[in-house]
Structure 1
Amino acid sequence: MIILLSAAIAPGLALFSYFYLRNQMATEPRKTLFQTFLYGALLTFPILFLQYVLKEEGIFYSVYFQDVVFTSVVEEFFKWFVLLIAIYNHIEFDDPYDGILYGASVSLGFATVENILYLLSFGLDTAFMRALLPVSSHALFGVVMGYYYGRAKFSQKARTKEMIALALFAPIVLHMLYNAILSFKGYWIYLMVPFMLFLWWFGLRKVKLAHHHLVQHLHMQKKL
């Protein structure tokens, strides 16, 4: 059991440490980040329950719609909503790069609990593949979401609503593409490899841009 839990938790911890250590300009309070992680972890249970109930009730006319559209929308919406109500106006959200950390944190909280439940059901044989795909993809969806939250809070007020909307819709689109690729039975891996390379490129580009906006933000603060 200890080995299984370690295998389930390690990918999320490693990915979060990577994004945390990329922030060399400021140190975000670990307590707030841990709370955000817990929010994401707690989200797992109502989301899985909702998905189970709707599936059992036969609400969905199509398995494809259920797995690709509904799953992507409900998971990213709840993460987006938690960040909006609990973190966006938090005093500790005080620079553009913080969005990256909080987005990654809430997503990895969700992904880690989901990973634990999955490995308990299917065993350690799936641990490596899940670290490469579901856990890392959730982290990158969170990075993209957090980037736009950072832009919303620290860019011109005229663009705030636009950026908050992008914080929701950009991860949903990416998540839907990811789930759509998984639906291609037999040859999904040939589509997933280039998609994951693109997702990492896109996510790391957002990290780089957030760091650039952080430098500008700190420079403006010094002027003031």
Structure 2
Amino acid sequence: MLLFSVLAAAIAPGIALLTYFYLKDKYDSEPLHMVIKVFLMGFLVVLPVMIFQRGLTIWLGDHTLLTSFGISAGVEEFLKWFVLYHIIYNHTEFDEPYDGIVYATAVSLGFATVENLLYAWAGYSSIGTLIIRSLLPVSGHAMFGVIMGYYMGLSKFSNGPKSKVFLALSLLFPWFWHGLYDVILNTLTQEWIWFIALLMLLLWFLGMGQVARANSRSPFRLMKPEEEVNL
């Protein structure tokens, strides 16, 4: 029973947050099987992330800024971005800006869910610890996904040089915020929780603004009600 409770606490936050952002799509919800597929791709990202991070740590050593921005945030955000760009960016189901947020949060939360499961399986996490992780790292991955998906959506539906700029920002911004998050964890030992809490509040404020703006750019919002029924 205890093992079941711990596993449930590890899995539930990612699924709950993904459901939340999936339901925030106001005009043209994505096929559920596609969202689940991308969520499961987040599971698969974990293995190459672990391999690259281990190799880079052996090669470059353990230095706070390098570890935070390069080995941790850099590897994780690049591989999530790589999956989205090569599998989702040109997919026919990516047909409105908000779709970028749905798929980016799916792959991010899939990754975060496996991280939680690994902590639980290794015996490092009690239920209380997993609840804290749901409020911080899992929520953090969700916000990095929102930011990545927002700019990927802008890139998808922009033309010319702006499209390339937004595509670059879809990697750079989540990388920066993730790196800052890790720097706080790696440098502060006593009062880190207050700085992380402030950072998470800021990220949620920015993220929810991006959710609203992405929805406002949907081409489906201009359809007449009778047209929406026929979708």
TM-score by length of 2: 0.89
Q: 1:24 deviation in Å?
A: 2.2
Partner deviation per Cα, 1:49-85 (whole Å, 9 max, x = no partner): 2212333x25226244213432111100000111000
SS at match of 1:186: coil
| Aligned residue in 2 for 1:161 | 164
> Per-residue displacement from partner, 1:152-208 (whole Å, max 9, x unpaired)?
111233311011001000100110111111121211112112111001101111101
Residues 117-156 of structure 1, C-alpha deviation per residue, up to 9 Å, x if partnerless? 0122213231111000000000110011001111111123
Query: Which of the residues 205, 211, 217 maps onto 2:209?
Result: 205
1:85, 1:17 → 2: CA distance?
A: 24
Q: Distance in 1 between matches of 2:49 and 2:221?
A: 41
1:85–1:130: structure 2 CA closer, same or farther, 3 Å change rule?
Answer: same
Matched with 1:71 is: 72
Pairwise mapping of residues 25-104 of structure 1 onto structure 2 (< 5 A)?
25-55=27-57, 57-60=58-61, 62-104=63-105
Contact 2:73–2:175 (CA under 8 A) maintained in structure 1: yes
TM-score, length-scaled by structure 1:
0.92
Task: State the distance in 2 between where 1:191 and 1:36 align.
Answer: 31
Does the 8 A contact of 1:12 with 1:111 survive in 2? yes
Distance in 2, matches of 1:144 and 1:131, equals 18
Amino acid at match of 1:31: H
Match in the other structure for 2:228 = none
Deviations 1:39-58 (A, max 9, x none): 11100111012212333x25
Aligned positions of 1:176-187 closer than 5 A: 176-183=179-186, 184-187=188-191
Whole-angstrom distance in 2 between the partners of 1:140 and 1:201: 10
Distance 1:192 1:179 in 2: 9
Residues of 2 paired with 1:206 and 1:96: CA distance?
Answer: 10
Structure 1 runs, 4 residues or longer, greater than 4 Å off = 219-222
Matches within 5 A, 1:90-169: 90-121=91-122, 122-124=124-126, 125-169=128-172
CA contact (8 A) 1:119 1:126 kept: no
AA in 1 matched with 2:91: H
The count of corresponding residues between Structure 1 and Structure 2 is: 219
Q: 1:23 maps to what in 2?
A: 25
Gaps of 5+ in 2: 225-231
Take 1:219 and 1:62, find their aligned partners in 2: how far apart are those partners? 48
- Farther off after superposition, 176-185 or 117-126: 117-126
Q: Contact conserved, 1:147 with 1:207, CA < 8 A, in 2?
A: yes
Unpaired segments ≥5 residues, structure 1? none
Alpha carbons 2:41, 2:110 under 8 Å: kept: yes
CA contact (8 A) 1:7 1:127 kept: yes
